[in-house]
Amino acid sequence: MTVMKQTPRISNWINGLKKQPETAGWLDKFNPHNGELLCQFADSSEVDTQRAVKAAADAFLSWSELTPIRRGQVLADIVAAIKRSANELADCIALETGKPPQDARGEVGGAILQGEYFAGEGTRLYGRSLTSSMPGKYSHTVRQPRGIAGLIVPANTPIANIAWKTFPALICGNTVVLKAAEDSPSIALLFAELTKEAGLPDGVFNVIQGRGQLAGAALVNDERVNVVSFTGSTSVGKWIAETAGKRLARISLELGGKNPFVVCDDADLDQAVHWASLSAFSNAGQRCAAGSRIIVFKDIYEVFRNKLVAKAQNLKLGVSADCDLGPVVSKRQQQSILAAIETAAAEGGRILCGGAAPTGTELARGYYIQPTIIEGLAANAKLSSKEVFGPVASLHVVENIGEALQLANASEYGLTAAIHTCSVDRAMWFAQRVKAGVANVNIGTFGSEPHMPFGGFGASGNGTREPGVEALDVYSELKSISFLVRENQL
C-alpha cells in the first residue's frame, strides 16, 4: 500500500515529550471499519523502551516524595482534563477500535470513575495499627511505592485498560512506563498529553508504542522495572511471569477467560436472553469477561435457543449510534475467529446463526464477524474450551444444576460466571462453588466497578486483583514501623 504523506504518525511519549522511535521505523494501523490505513505508530526498539524507563527512574524520587494527598490532587486534575476532552477521546476510541460511539463514550466514563476512585485514595491509602506483645511498643503499617511500574495493555477497551492500571500505580507513588496496544496507539498518546496538561511532572508517565515482542518484552526484561502489570493473553502472561519472576519483580496478570453463563429452568427467559446476548456479543465479543459458553437446562433449551438466535440475528453491525456491535479490532483477529468457527464446524458444531464475515454490504471491507451461536460441541472441543475473543458463543445442554456447575468448572480459565435463576438456593450454591473470580446472579458476565476487585482463578491470572483497594497491594510495598515508648524519658 502506498503511504500518503499526510498519514498521521503516533510517537512515543517520554519525559513529557513526543519522541520518534530510535530506528525511525513505523507500523501501520488500519481502520477496523473499512480496512483503510488510519495512522502509523512508532515501531519502538529496546533502546526506546530503555529511554522511557530512564525517564521514569529519574522522575521517581520527586513524585514518590509528594504526599499521597498531593498526588491525589494531581490525579483529580487529570480526571478533570479527561472530562474536558471526553468527546475527543471517545471519537479517537471509536475510530481506532471500531466501536459504536455510545460504547466509546461509556468507556471514557469508566476511565473517569477509575480516576476519581484512585484520586480519592490519596486521602486514605490506609495502613493498620498493630498490637504488640512487647509492653510500650506501638506498631503500624504504611504503604510505599514499588518504584517503576511497567504497564502492558490490550486494545479491547483501551482507555479503561490504561486508567485501570495507571491511576493506582500513580497514587501509590510509582512512576509509569505504559506499553500501548498495537491496535490503539493514538488513545495512549492522547491520555499522555492530558496528564501533562493536568500538571503531572515530566517523566512520571511515559508511553512506548510498538510490538509486544520487541518494545513490550524490553519493558518486562528491564531490571529497573519493579512491578509489571499485564492485561492480555494467557500465553504472553505466562512468559511475563517467568521472565520478570526471575528477578522477583511483582507481577499482576489479568488474562483470558471462557466464561460460563448458566440458564436454569426457572429463569426469566427474556432477561436471560437479553443478558446472554450482551455477555456474548457486546464489544464484538472482545472482552475477557465475555459469556462465551452458554449452559442451558434441557427443559427450556429449545425455547431459550430460539429466542437467543432470533436476538443475535437482529443485532445491527456497524459503527453508528444505532448499531449493537462493531468490527473486531484487526484483520489478524478476524482471520483467527473465522478459523476457530471452521474448526468448530469440523468438530461437529452446528452453526445456528452467523458463522462468517458479512458479505455484499459496505461492512465487507471491515473486520466484521456476524454474531455466531454454535450448538452440539463437546465440552472439550476447541471452541468450547479456548478463548476466541470475538462474537462467538457455544450452547450446551445440561440436566440439572449439578451438571451445570460441573461444565462451568470444566475450563482452565476462571474469570467470571453468571447464573440466571429465581431460586436463591441455586444461585448461592452455584456462586459459592463456581471457579471464577467474579460470580453474578441474573445479570451478565460483566466485570467490576472501580471499587471492586476483579481477577481470575486458574489460567485467567496469577491471583492478584485490580482495581479496588486490592490494586494498592499490586503497586505498593507494606512496611511495618514500630516505636518503643521509653518510660525513663517521660
Q: Which residues bind ligand NAD (CB under 6 A)?
A: 152-156, 179, 181-182, 212-213, 216-217, 220, 231-233, 236, 239, 254-257, 288, 387, 389, 415
Q: Which residue is nearest to ligand NAD (CB)?
A: 212
Q: Do 370 and 353 touch, CB atoms closer than 8 A? A: yes
Task: Let me know if 46 is a catalytic residue.
Answer: no
Q: Give residue 201's identity as a one-letter amino acid code.
A: P
Q: At its nearest, how many Å lie between ligand NAD and the CB of residue 464?
A: 11
Q: At its nearest, how many Å lie between ligand NAD and the CB of residue 259?
A: 10
Q: At its nearest, how many Å lie between ligand NAD and the CB of residue 43?
A: 12
C-alpha cell at 76: 483529580
Phi, psi of 415 (to 5 degrees): -90, -70
Q: Do 413 and 237 touch, CB atoms closer than 8 A? A: no
To which residue does cell 472501580 refer?
Answer: 450
Q: At its nearest, how many Å lie between ligand NAD and the CB of residue 204?
A: 21
Q: What is the 3-state secondary structure (H, E, C) of 61-76?
A: HHHHHCCHHHHHHHHH
Task: Let me know if 422 is a catalytic residue.
Answer: no
Nearer to ligand NAD, 227 or 267 (CB): 227
Nearer to ligand NAD, 217 or 439 (CB): 217
Q: How far apart are CA 135 and CA 396, in angstroms?
A: 63
Nearer to ligand NAD, 152 or 200 (CB): 152
Nearer to ligand NAD, 165 or 426 (CB): 165
Angle, helices 101-120/86-97, rounded to nearest 10 degrees: 130
Which is the catalytic residue, given 92, 264, 288, 375? Answer: 288
4 Cα distance to chain centroid:
33
Q: At its nearest, how many Å lie between ligand NAD and the CB of residue 150?
A: 9
Q: Give residue 466's identity as a one-letter amino acid code.
A: E
Specify burial of residue 1 (Cβ count, 10 A radius: 0-12, 13-18, 19+).
Answer: exposed
Nearer to ligand NAD, 68 or 109 (CB): 109
Q: How far apart are CA 143 and CA 472, in angstroms?
A: 8
Q: How far apart are CA 171 and CA 186, in angstroms?
A: 24
Nearer to ligand NAD, 38 or 152 (CB): 152
Nearer to ligand NAD, 255 or 269 (CB): 255
Which is the catalytic residue, given 96, 107, 254, 387? Answer: 254
Q: At its nearest, how many Å lie between ligand NAD and the CB of residue 2?
A: 27
Nearer to ligand NAD, 288 or 434 (CB): 288
Q: How far apart are CA 399 and CA 303, in angstroms?
A: 15
Give the residues across from 484 on adjacent strands.
Answer: 137
Q: Do 308 and 273 touch, CB atoms closer than 8 A? A: yes
Q: At its nearest, how many Å lie between ligand NAD and the CB of residue 487?
A: 53
Which DSSP string do the residues of 375-427 spell out, in sequence order? ES--TTSHHHHS---SSEEEEEEESSHHHHHHHHT-SSEESEEEEE-S-HHHH
| Residue of 265, 277, 264, 304 whose CA lies nearest to 405 | 264
How far from 59 is each of 97, 159, 205, 477, CA to CA, in Å?
A: 32, 24, 9, 19
Q: At its nearest, how many Å lie between ligand NAD and the CB of residue 90?
A: 19
Q: At its nearest, how many Å lie between ligand NAD and the CB of residue 156?
A: 5
DSSP letter assigned to residue 200: P
How far from 473 is each of 117, 209, 234, CA to CA, in Å?
A: 16, 27, 22
Nearer to ligand NAD, 96 or 265 (CB): 96
Phi, psi of 425 (to 5 degrees): -65, -45
Q: Do 293 and 260 touch, CB atoms closer than 8 A? A: yes
To which residue does cell 475473543 refer?
Answer: 389
* Residues labelled as active-site residues: 254, 288
